[in-house]
Amino acid sequence: MIVGRLELTLNIPAARSLKDKRRVVKSLITRIHNRHNAAIAEVGDNDKWQICRLGVAVVSNRSDHANSLLTSIVKSVEREHEMVLVDYEIEIQ
């Protein structure tokens, strides 16, 4: 069993409150989960309006498949118009 982990740091420049941030983040989480069948949750910076850290996990039987799934998620986040991808880290175990 191969587990792939992705940590994303996002900037949400239009967020003026935690409510704005949560709306954008919840929508992104739903889209990633539905499109990529990955487990995803907000894992840090919960009380900051314009910064978000998300953790994503996938399970596969091949490391290249897990890496491909996580890379695809990064690319889809980069295309989002309401947020900016600041940093990401992929780890395959």
Domains of the chain as residue ranges with CATH = 2-92 (3.30.70.1120)
Confidence of residue 41 (pLDDT cuts 50, 70, 90): very high
Contact by Cβ (8 Å): 56, 74: no
> Does position 44 have pLDDT exceeding 90, yes or no?
no
How many Å is the Cα radius of gyration of the chain? Answer: 13
**Mean pLDDT for all residues in the chain:** 94
Q: What is the pTM of this model?
A: 0.89
Beta strands in 1-93 (DSSP E): 2-11, 39-44, 51-60, 84-92
The pLDDT of residue 31 is above 90:
yes
